[in-house]
Every structure is written in C-alpha cells, then in structure tokens.
Structure 1
C-alpha cells in the first residue's frame, strides 16, 4: 500500500528515521516541504498513528499525478475514476478536505465541491447508493490536494486533529512548542538514558514531557486515543490498533530530566501537564533563571531550549541580551560531550551570541513552526 505523511517542514530527515524503524519503504522525500511518500503493509497505519513522535498526519495515497495547467475538470475526472467502494461503506459519511498551493483559476473551496460531486457520482455508479456528506464529523476524510501542478488524493487515517495534539495537555502556554518538533529536537540530541536533560526555558513542559515519554516507551497515541481518536479505526476497526498495543512494553524508570522556568505560573502548568502524562515522577521542575544556570547546576549533558523570540518579548535588544547571557551561562555547565539544541526565529541574533560565546555549530537547519520560519541549531563546545 502507498502512503504519504505530512510533518513540520524541515524535519523530513528525522521523520524518515521513524518510518524506517516502522519498516516503511521510502519512495520520495520532499525536503523542507513537509511530505514523505513511502509504501508498506497495513500495520504502518496503527504504528505511525499510535507510535510516531515526529509525524503529524498519515494518509493512504490513492492517486498522484503531475497535470500541467490542472483544471477542475481534471480533478473531477481523476476522483471519479477511483474505486471508492473499497474505502467507504454504504452507511458511512465522508468529507473532502481540500488544499491548494500555487497559482490557479480556482479556490480550495472549488476543489472540495468538484471532488465531492465526483466521489458521490462515482459511488452511485458502482453501488447505486448516494453517500452522505458530513463536514463536521465524517466517518471518512478524503484529502484532495493541488500542489502547483500536482494532484494528490488520499484517505486520511489520522483525523482532523493532527498527531502533534497528544491529548495530555491540560495547561496551555501562550507559545508552547509543537510536540512533534520537541520530539525531533530530542532525537537530534541523541540523549542517552544515563545523561541529564535540561530545558532551561521549559514553559508548559513540552520538551521534558516528550523526553520522558520517549525514554519510557510510552506511545504518544496513548493519550490522544480517548480524547481525539484515530480516523483509521472507522475504516478498519480496532483489530489493527489492538495488535500494535499488545506489542508495546513501557517502563517506569526514573530519568534525569529538569524543566526550568522563571515563571511559576508556567511551571505549575507544566507540572499539571506532566501529571496528566504520568511522567511527573521523573521530571524535576524548578523555578529559576536561564541566564544564571551556573549558579544552580555544575554539569549538564544535554540542553534543549525553545527561547522567547522577538515577537514574544517585544524588543530585539531584550532578545539579544537574553541569548548572550543564556549561552554564557550554559557554557559554564557544559563539558566536552555536552550538546545544546536551540530552536528560534531570531536566528541572526542567536548566531551573534553563538559567535560571541565561542560555541561550535555542528548543524543548523530551517523548520516551519506554526507558519513561522525558525532555525534549529546544534551546538557543542
């Protein structure tokens, strides 16, 4: 079966590793465009939806074609030619979720209307049944995407709520980090079981919590199953998911994880989130200043931070001061094998601070986060 996943653009190499672990065969990686195409067996559906930490949505790929000067008639024809009886039962409802990128003489609404008409007519042709449309709570979600001259049609196995919504969050920080990006940063750091992980500006605790869930082999889908569910269950039933769940072995080991923040309100919220995720016992939440790490810690192995950007602080001067003082303090608690991972939209100011404090940049790459282009830095001494 053919699939494609969507994810935060920039994380393709990290998400590829997950797909490899799940035994998917990569067909195409669209770097910095947030899409990976691959093939594999049916078990990839519950594996990715329930176990993946960096992917946001999994779709079954039904059709893909480059069509120069693509028109609404082209979309109608291709959707009409698909055998929908394999994917939608007679009593089930469906909804088209359209997407358009590029210059066209039609809108995404037009795509949804035409594709919906084609699907209904196609099903009537094959089953003599007129399917019901339910835009709010459909049994089956069909993705019809026109990306420049390419038409992609797929069945959404995840649902309208993407996989970055884990389900454990009970407190929302005004600028909390996407959970899939947080997990990608942890993977990037190669954090080992016996090492200390510090998030010095932890906000609502996403990085420490995702780290704890990762080390304890707790599936991200465990919490979202009850809150949001998985759309593939409506298509295939619970058998596939139950089989995967039986193979999971979690642990209750205690790991060295520290979440630091100077705002007590955020820390209290982080604790509530960690409690909801059943990992509060392995995270030490501390009220403290990220620019004075050397006053509290002697040695840290891995530091991962999502510091405030100019948008959140209101002043470039304040951001520059924060970045300089943070890196200066961090340098004092790092040793030869320590790693520092930072994601920020103020990459120029951060690079200046990196140079001023004589860090070595091992890697840097762009990541799209909530419509904002950010940059990830991997630093060592």
Structure 2
C-alpha cells in the first residue's frame, strides 16, 4: 500500500490560515486552504505528527475519496469503488456519521445507511467473508459529507476533538476552546522573554496554552488518538512522533505568565488545570479584579476573553467594566493588548480604537479580536 495519503485538518471559521501555517511549519508544503479545512498530501508519519502538534485545528481526517452523486445508486457505487480494504481490516469497527448541504441527497440517515452497506459489500468481497463482518476490532470512524452533490468520504484519525488536550479537570459556564485560546496567543507577536497576562483567566485556558507554546510542548502529548489503534499504520510512526515531541520540548525555558480572575473558585480551577497539564510552576495565578492590574515592566502582553455582557442583567455592568479597564490600561501605552469580545461597542467603551481587529467565532458567537499594538520604546 502507498504510504502517501491526503489529510484534511478541519478548522473553526476564521482560523483556517493559522492552521495552514501550522501545517507548513511541520514541513508539509503542498497546502490548499478552503472554508473550514486545510488539505495537504503527506505520509503516514504526518497523521501522528499533525495530531500531536496542531494547536488550532479541530481534528485531522484522512481522505478516502470524492465523487459526484445525485442518486442513491451513484452514492452506493461511488462508495463501493473506493479502496476501503487498504484501511479497514476484517474485524474493524466502522460507524458512519454524515452531513448534507445543498445536495439532492438530503436525508443524512439514508446516506449513512447506503455508505455503510457499500463498504460492507466491498470489505466482505475483499476479505472473503460470506456472511457478516463482526466489527469487534479497532474503530475507524467514517464521515460522509455531501456539499452541492459532491461526496467526500473521510476517516477520522483524531478520535476526540483536538481541543481535548487532556488537562481540563474543571471549567466555568462558557469555557474557551483550547484551540481558539492557542489561536489567540499565536495571533500576537508575543516572545517568550516578555511577560504575558490574562486578566479574565476563567479556567486558565489562555495562560495554559501560552505556556505550552512558550516551552514548545506538543498540545497532544498527554492524550490518545483513534489512529494509534489502526492496523495499516506502523506503531513505530507514533513512537517516532512522541520521541520527536519530547526532543523538541524546551522544559527549561523560563516564562513570565500570569492568570487572574475576580472569581476565587475559577482561580482554583485554573490552578488545578495547569497542574494536570504539568505546568504547575509555569503560571502564576491570582484572585484579582482586572482593573487592579499593575506592572513595573516596560513591555508586556495582555490577552483576554472577558465577559461579553450578552445577558440583559449583565450588559450595563460589563460595559462599565470595559470603560474602567480602558482607563487602567491607558497607563501602559507600550504594552500590547488583545481582547476577544462579542460587544460591538467595545472600542468606544474602552476609549481607544484598535490597531487591528479580526473576526472570529467563539463556539457559535461571532466575536471580534481587538488588537492594540504597544508603542515602541525609544
């Protein structure tokens, strides 16, 4: 079997270019960026390396094939023609999920059932099985996605989404996804020798992701992936990728990372999450009001996801807090400040127009990432 495959790193809306950049940094050059995904050709080693290293991708899928289908017969025959036996062994378990958008075949349950039936037929013939496939072995999760009558069939190599790093032992009401938190850090030009603050740390996701980036620790180092169990990938692939991650980690890199929150319970949750991530000594946590921020450092970075004030009762309180925060941080003109919020009046309330802003989605909430670049020190 050929060792090269087509991989798809899926991404939240607005993060595609960041994911593409991460893929290129891993050494995979032939990259195509589309809405919600980054497509590239690579070898089996890339399946392990991308799952371990991609900080901002949702998951890594292996493309089995694509074709047009406007009838269930075309869907069945197109699916059956693909080389499933190269990936799924005789005892492989292969559940099928699906989605359909702007396609003649709009019934997702029917599409899933037809894809399943076609793969069963193909595998029975190739493996010489007369009756049924037992599906007692490792899982090979298949997705059938239809868009404008184009069928894309993939295998999910990740298992749980890549945002599940394995360190979150507790969280607040609206936790920031680890993948988005990593993107917020990567969209700054923070350097590891400069102080980094999150004044609304919640469960600690932004400072923890900053610490992982600061010491070049692979975000997937502490968890398992679906493809680790797959027969067609040599186990040495994973051993080699983990060894590389261990070699590239810079555990001796000193960092000045701070997380604070008004809620003492959330500070304890953040501390527990950092401990679970193996970063207990790398982040300083403090119970504090954001407007009590003070630093003697000439330069630094503040990256925060404050409350948005979306609930009616909270709106006035949150908007007053934005005003007070703006007044506090005006004393730090050489600091760079990055704020993610859904409040469209943020600049007006903060009292300063952003140097740059970028549209991002926090779950399904449309937000802006307001970026205030610090003035250069003469």
TM-score (norm 2): 0.90
1:241 matched to 2:238? The reply is yes
Q: Secondary structure at the match of 1:47?
A: helix
Counterpart of 2:363 in structure 1 is 370
Deviation of 1:95 after TM superposition, in Å, equals 1.0
Q: Secondary structure at the match of 2:126?
A: helix
Counterpart of 1:51 in structure 2 is 53
Counterpart of 2:133 in structure 1 is 131
Q: Bigger shift: 297-306 or 307-316?
A: 307-316
Counterpart of 1:115 in structure 2 is 115
Q: 1:266 to 1:313 in 2, by over 3 A?
A: farther
Deviation of 1:109 after TM superposition, in Å, equals 1.7
Counterpart of 2:15 in structure 1 is 11
Q: How does 1:1-381 map to 2 (within 5 A)?
A: 1-30=5-34, 33-65=35-67, 70-102=70-102, 104=104, 106-129=106-129, 130-132=132-134, 139-159=139-159, 161-225=160-224, 229-235=225-231, 236-248=233-245, 249=247, 250=249, 251-293=251-293, 296-299=294-297, 300-311=299-310, 314-335=313-334, 338-346=335-343, 348-354=344-350, 357-362=351-356, 364-381=357-374
Q: Which runs of 5+ in 1 are unaligned?
A: none
Tell me how many residue pairs correspond in the alignment: 363
Deviation of 1:274 after TM superposition, in Å, equals 0.5
For 1:74 and 1:319, the matched residues in 2 are separated by 55
Q: 1:74 to 1:309 in 2, by over 3 A?
A: farther
Deviation of 1:94 after TM superposition, in Å, equals 1.1
Q: 1:42 to 1:305 in 2, by over 3 A?
A: same
For 2:141 and 2:20, the matched residues in 1 are separated by 25
Q: Which runs of 5+ in 2 are unaligned?
A: none
For 1:148 and 1:23, the matched residues in 2 are separated by 33
The structure carrying a bigger helix percent of its residues is 1
For 2:355 and 2:205, the matched residues in 1 are separated by 24
Query: Deviation digits for residues 264-283 of structure 1, max 9, x if unmatched?
Result: 00000100001111112111
Instruction: Kindly indicate whether the alpha-carbon contact (under 8 Å) linking 1:292 and 1:326 is maintained by their aligned counterparts in 2.
Output: no
Deviation of 1:98 after TM superposition, in Å, equals 1.2
Query: Deviation digits for residues 290-313 of structure 1, max 9, x if unmatched?
Result: 1332xx324451111111123367
Q: Secondary structure at the match of 1:109?
A: helix
Q: 1:207 to 1:128 in 2, by over 3 A?
A: same
For 2:252 and 2:226, the matched residues in 1 are separated by 26
